Amino acid sequence: MEGKYRLLDSRPLDPEEPESVPRTPRRRKTRRRAARSEAPQADRRPTYADLGRALVDRIVELGREAGEAVAASENLRHDAKENRATRIEAEQRARRLFERVKELEHKLEVAEANLRTVLAAARGRGATAAPSDNEMEALLKILKTPSATGQDDEAALAASEAAGGEPPQVVVEDPADSGDAVAPDDGREGGVNASAAASSLE
């Protein structure tokens, strides 16, 4: 026969003769194998399996980072929308408050001008003394009482008649025409503006 095996004896086997002779087992060299297993793995060359495993781990890590970045960007976009809405609302409120402050400043200027005019008219009769209690009460009524029914003007006229003088002339400062003076007959409008300004300031 060709190959590694060759026929040594062509006679048939005996009835109790085995077909093959078992090979004697060899002693394994455990020390050498243990020494080989203890060899550092850094000396071995990287394989394609190691490369593929590293690539898969890196791809998974990048996917996780990308998901976290997308979630963070969504949260930031939502916060930006809320901040923009809050800023617009704050600007509108500041604009309304600024307009209200300008309106109150104008009313305060009108009330101050009316008060100065009334005091100047009360002191213009030649007396240097302070106004009487009745006149001061009338001025306080002009500033505190609502002028919807015209009671403040009647109180001012009654106080001036009781003092024996002429009704005071009231000057109203108008942004359109600030230099015009109001006649005594038009004092009701000045009283209305003064009381309205005082009531709004309170």
CB 148 within 8 A of CB 193: no
Residue 157 CB-density burial (10 A; 0-12 exposed, 13-18 middle, 19+ buried): middle
pLDDT for 103-116, tens place per residue? 999 999 998 888 88
CA nearest 138: which of 160, 120, 117? 160
Query: Is the Cβ–Cβ distance between 142 and 156 less than 8 Å?
Result: yes
Domain extents in the chain: 51-201
Between 71 and 189, the more confident residue is: 71
Statement: residue 136 has pLDDT above 60: yes
- Place 185 in a pLDDT band, splitting at 50, 70 and 90: very low
* Nearest residue to 113 (alpha-carbon basis) of 179, 39, 46: 179
